[in-house]
Chains A and B, each alone.
Chain A
Amino acid sequence: MKKFGLFIAFAVAACAAANDTFLIRGVDVYPVTGPEVKGVSVLVQDGKIADIGAKIVAPKGMKIVEGKGLRLYPGMIDSNTNLGLSEVGAERVTVDTGELGEFMPQLKALSAVNPESEHFGVVRANGITSVMTFPAAGGRGGRGGGGQQYISGQAALIHMDGWTWEDMEIKRDAAVHFLFPSIASRAGRGGLANVDFADEIALLFGGGSAAGTYTEAKRQYETQVAKVTEFFDNCRQYQKERTANLPGFKRDLKYEAMIPVLEGKVPVAVPAARERAIHDAVAFAEKEHIKIVILAPQELGKEGPELKAKNVPVILGRTEALPENQDAPYDYAESLPGEFYKAGVKIAFGTFDNEFSRNLPYNAARAVAYGLPYDAALKAITINAAEIWGEGDKMGSIEKGKWADLMLVTGDPLETPTQIKALYIKGKEVDLSNKQTRLYQKYLNRP
């Protein structure tokens, strides 16, 4: 308790003297993109990593952070959350995910991010410095929105601190959230969630007790794919007319928002649980010549070679999850990341949640226990995420010239008891206190 109090005081003092130029001395650096270097100094200048080495001398008057006995890692990145958009899941008035409308690429998650959300302080206290925040909840679809939605808007890559959402912005259109149709999404979250044996049979072979269901589902799927294809055709047509700039051309906000996707500058992020859904989404992206990122797959199946060959990255969901099927091995979710890794697929992790975003590193750790190499797990919550979302040159590792998004920790950041001693976003020390630490202090001291 005493230690905690001192620590708060230290953090506050650091903020008061806020600058983004300092030297961390005698620290063990884990750059993620290379082997660790022990007992070196890291020079941060104007918010960027200026130098890493044993013999850096701090200019006179420069702030020195003692890193002896501590480790320095790049800040972690959660590749799927609704942070800033959803405060209390059960209270719709506090939730801004899941807008109405079928094709809504013009919606921007970024400008609905509430910088004062209590979640930011809580999540970053565990070393997470940036996240992707998505316009629709979970792996699929919106909450409370009416009917089928295909495009829910633009997902933003944001830093976990800032006075406004503009301060927090890294990239406002890091991805367009695209809910590509899939067959028999009975549970409404893609693929065959908790499918019963009889339904599985029916889906595999047709007929059976659910006869008609499959045929119906397939027809519905084809109608939906046709709708999506028509939308993309319209986007292309718009793009042509826009380029030609003929008289009478009218600007359309929906189509305008799709131009970066058509140009391959912004990927679509597509939830796809099952092998077939993954294949269908990837095939569609290839046909349309657009970049794609797969979200929350529940199985790899035979998709490994295709994902690898086409350089399609995958955002894995929580390993702290039950198997989808009754007869699946008990460690199904824990083992899945290892399978994707072995297939040569580029992976990152998302928690697909706000409440459990702070447990991002523990989800990665669990994958390590069940077959994912440690280095791959660490990359999946740092550099891979940065690269997948198009900012690999600025963040995700400790390298000269990159932003000083750093966490100073007491040990392995994937282990629960490890403490975060300091956190930096663009070289600025971030307050690690939050609503929960304040309530803790207040009631610990209740007489």
Chain B
Amino acid sequence: MKHAFLAGLIALVPLSAEVTVIQNATIMSEGAKGTFKGTIVVENGKITAVGDNVMVPAGATVIDAAGQYVIPGIIDCHSHIAVDGGVNEGSVSVSSMVNIRDVINPEDIAIYRALAGGVTSANILHGSANAIGGQTLVLKMRWGQDAEGMIFQGATPGIKFALGENPKRAGNPQGGRGAAATNARYPATRMGVEDVIREAFNEAKQYKAEWDAYDAQVAKGEHPLPPRKDLKLEPLKEVLEGKRFVHAHCYRSDEILMLIRVADDYGFKIKTFQHVLEGYMVAKEIAAHGAGGSTFSDWWAYKMEAIDAIPYNAAVMTKKGVVSSLNSDDAELMRRLNTEAAKAMKYGGLTREEALALVTINPAKQLGVDNKVGSIEVGKDADIVIYDKDPLSNYAKVQKVWIDGNKYFDRDSDVSGRPLKELEKKKLTDKEKAAMPAPNGRRPQ
């Protein structure tokens, strides 16, 4: 029933791409050109020209953004929006066989709200109930398209790992003081979390060896029987082959370091540490491993493992060579990642460009899509946001958002369309009211 209300919003979706030119804006490109006043040309969904002296193609739709700011579309490296139902397959300690891709809900209103907050791409993750969680994927916020149309084609798929309090909770529902609770699911401690991951990769390595042997025989022209396909181990094999990114939920420095050593031992890489609230304590080790850190700006003290979180985390990690980003993990926070970035200026003294990078080019790097998005540069996807004021200011409002050169959000249209939506709602409620037989009466089933 509620989806009827969304119809008005879906009507926003454009039919085809055309040539669009944004002029006279302050462009915070997050690319080599830095911040400058100038023009952006968008053709066939790509940025084809950027600069302070650019020819405007004939027949282009020209947008005068004088006094306004343009930034690359914001990328949220940790989100659970657009997921139909629960995000946790928590019944097993290793749930690598499940895939968020199978449960994308393109009608989640959070997608539209994220757009209205300047977000154009998001890493949609499985939950953190298990040491090795489900497969993840990157979406573009193409509101109005179907689930398939939301997928960021070409982005490397991922898998969620989780360390600390969440994965051990299932083994420990009563707070566990030694005695096993009913229906306890291994693991119940950080020691067990490490073991679960080691056991899984022990298996995955053997599985990969079987397949490698098979592939080698096939390559030699032989016709061996293939090994049995294992849907749990297949994604872990991809991790070992570098074809799937590991996004690991973590809090404490001990568990971060633990996972780095496990990955070293089994020969794979952690692409990002997620939350990573104590990343500032082991930034050196994270940087040496080559992992990114995707954290909260100022969340802390909501649980025990968040007690030593500091808002300087992103700045310290950045200064110590970790590619860092700020994420939301939350449909509300997701709408204002631009001002979350500003907090890294306050806490730790990052520059404006460094701060904005935390929600644009850096998460693009962490998701392996920095060749496509994350900055306003020629050849990249035209994922662009216009703000009325400095995007690092709390007074700034998103005005327009493009993805692949198509406009998906326009504040003016949103505001002017509200009376019509109110009317539509009233019609529906009136209709429903008319269908009521009598006050407090029952309708036939």
How many whole Å from B290's CB to the nearest CB in chain A?
Answer: 19
Q: Does A358 contact B (CB under 8 A)?
A: yes
CB within 8 Å of B: which A394-425 residues: 414-419
Q: Which residues of B contact A (CB under 8 A)?
A: 1-2, 5-6, 109, 112-113, 116, 280-281, 283-284, 298-304, 306-312, 316, 319, 331-333, 335-336, 339, 342-343, 345-348, 392-397, 414-415, 418, 421, 425, 429, 432-433, 436-443
Q: Does A231 contact B (CB under 8 A)?
A: no
> Which residues of chain A come closer than 8 Å to B333, judged between CB atoms?
320
If A326-B109, A329-B415, A446-B281 are given as contacts, then 8 extra A-B residue pairs at C-beta distance below 8 Å, sorted by A number, are A88-B304, A197-B2, A207-B437, A208-B436, A211-B441, A414-B394, A415-B395, A418-B346
Chain B's closest residue to A374 (CB) is: B395
- B436 adjacent to A91 (CB under 8 Å): no
Identify the 7 closest CB pairs spanning chains A and B, nearest first: A365-B394, A327-B5, A416-B342, A90-B303, A440-B312, A436-B310, A417-B345
- A89 adjacent to B441 (CB under 8 Å): no
- A88 adjacent to B302 (CB under 8 Å): yes
Contact of B301 among A88, A320, A326, A370 (CB under 8 A): A88
Chain A's closest residue to B341 (CB) is: A416
Q: Which residues of A contact B (CB under 8 A)?
A: 87-91, 118-119, 122, 196-198, 200-201, 204-208, 211, 214-215, 320-323, 326-327, 329-331, 354-356, 358-359, 362, 365-366, 368-370, 414-419, 435-436, 439-440, 443-444, 446
- B112 adjacent to A330 (CB under 8 Å): yes
Chain B's closest residue to A362 (CB) is: B394
Main SS at interface, chain A: loop
> Which residues of chain B come closer than 8 Å to A200, judged between CB atoms?
429
In angstroms, Cα B425 to Cα A444, docked, is 55
Contact of A198 among B1, B283, B301, B440 (CB under 8 A): B1
Contact of A419 among B300, B346, B441 (CB under 8 A): B346
> Which residues of chain B come closer than 8 Å to A329, judged between CB atoms?
414-415, 418
How many whole Å from A439's CB to the nearest CB in chain B?
Answer: 5
How many whole Å from A130's CB to the nearest CB in chain B?
Answer: 20
Contact of B442 among A89, A211, A446 (CB under 8 A): A211
Contact of B308 among A214, A330, A358, A439 (CB under 8 A): A439
> Which residues of chain B come closer than 8 Å to A366, judged between CB atoms?
336, 394
- A331 adjacent to B116 (CB under 8 Å): yes
> Which residues of chain A come closer than 8 Å to B284, judged between CB atoms?
446
Q: List 10 A-B contacts (CB under 8 A).
A: A91-B303, A200-B429, A201-B429, A207-B441, A207-B443, A208-B436, A327-B2, A327-B6, A365-B395, A443-B283
- A415 adjacent to B281 (CB under 8 Å): no
How many whole Å from A327's CB to the nearest CB in chain B?
Answer: 4
In angstroms, Cα B394 to Cα A368, docked, is 9
In angstroms, Cα B441 to Cα A197, docked, is 18
Which of A196, A200, A414, A417 has the largest count of B CB atoms less than 10 A from its CB? A417
> Which residues of chain A come closer than 8 Å to B306, judged between CB atoms?
88
In angstroms, Cα B307 to Cα A122, docked, is 12
- B414 adjacent to A330 (CB under 8 Å): yes
- A322 adjacent to B113 (CB under 8 Å): yes
Contacts A327-B425, A416-B342 given; indicate if A208 touches B443 (C-beta within 8 A).
yes
> Which residues of chain B come closer than 8 Å to A358, judged between CB atoms?
298
In angstroms, Cα B304 to Cα A370, docked, is 36
In angstroms, Cα B347 to Cα A359, docked, is 13
How many whole Å from A384's CB to the nearest CB in chain B?
Answer: 19
Chain B's closest residue to A364 (CB) is: B394
In angstroms, Cα B350 to Cα A30, docked, is 28
- A204 adjacent to B429 (CB under 8 Å): yes
> Which residues of chain B come closer than 8 Å to A119, judged between CB atoms?
301
Chain B's closest residue to A334 (CB) is: B397
> Which residues of chain A come closer than 8 Å to B310, judged between CB atoms?
436, 439-440
Chain A's closest residue to B352 (CB) is: A417
Contacts A206-B440, A321-B332 given; indicate if A89 touches B301 (C-beta within 8 A).
yes
Contact of B280 among A90, A435, A440 (CB under 8 A): A440
> Which residues of chain B come closer than 8 Å to A214, judged between CB atoms?
440
Contacts A197-B1, A205-B436, A330-B414 given; indicate if A444 touches B343 (C-beta within 8 A).
no
> Which residues of chain A come closer than 8 Å to B346, judged between CB atoms?
416-419
Chain B's closest residue to A90 (CB) is: B303
Contact of A88 among B307, B348, B425, B432 (CB under 8 A): B307
Contacts A207-B437, A416-B346 given; indicate if A355 touches B281 (C-beta within 8 A).
no
In angstroms, Cα B299 to Cα A359, docked, is 11
> Which residues of chain B come closer than 8 Å to A201, judged between CB atoms?
429, 432-433
- B442 adjacent to A207 (CB under 8 Å): yes
How many whole Å from A408's CB to the nearest CB in chain B?
Answer: 16
- B439 adjacent to A206 (CB under 8 Å): yes
How many whole Å from B420's CB to the nearest CB in chain A?
Answer: 12
- A91 adjacent to B304 (CB under 8 Å): yes
Contact of B5 among A89, A122, A326, A362 (CB under 8 A): A326
Contact of A369 among B332, B343, B397, B442 (CB under 8 A): B397
In angstroms, Cα B198 to Cα A147, docked, is 45
How many whole Å from B208's CB to the nearest CB in chain A?
Answer: 37
In angstroms, Cα B394 to Cα A418, docked, is 11
> Which residues of chain B come closer than 8 Å to A365, judged between CB atoms?
394-395
How many whole Å from B386's CB to the nearest CB in chain A?
Answer: 15
Chain A's closest residue to B340 (CB) is: A416
> Which residues of chain B come closer than 8 Å to A122, judged between CB atoms?
300
> Which residues of chain A come closer than 8 Å to B392, judged between CB atoms?
416-417
In angstroms, Cα B439 to Cα A446, docked, is 71
- A89 adjacent to B303 (CB under 8 Å): yes
How many whole Å from A131's CB to the nearest CB in chain B?
Answer: 16
How many whole Å from A338's CB to the nearest CB in chain B?
Answer: 13
In angstroms, Cα B335 to Cα A204, docked, is 31
> Which residues of chain B come closer than 8 Å to A355, judged between CB atoms?
299-302
> Which residues of chain A come closer than 8 Å to B418, judged between CB atoms?
329
> Which residues of chain B come closer than 8 Å to A415, judged between CB atoms?
342, 393-395
How many whole Å from B335's CB to the nearest CB in chain A?
Answer: 8
In angstroms, Cα B116 to Cα A211, docked, is 37
> Which residues of chain B come closer than 8 Å to A320, judged between CB atoms?
332-333, 336
In angstroms, Cα B440 to Cα A214, docked, is 8
Chain B's closest residue to A1 (CB) is: B349
Chain A's closest residue to B107 (CB) is: A326
> Which residues of chain B come closer than 8 Å to A369, judged between CB atoms?
394-397
In angstroms, Cα B281 to Cα A111, docked, is 36
> Which residues of chain A come closer than 8 Å to B304, judged between CB atoms?
88, 90-91
Which of B6, B425, B436 has the largest count of A CB atoms less than 10 A from its CB? B436
Which of A119, A414, A439 has the largest count of B CB atoms less than 10 A from its CB? A439
- B302 adjacent to A90 (CB under 8 Å): yes
- A443 adjacent to B436 (CB under 8 Å): no
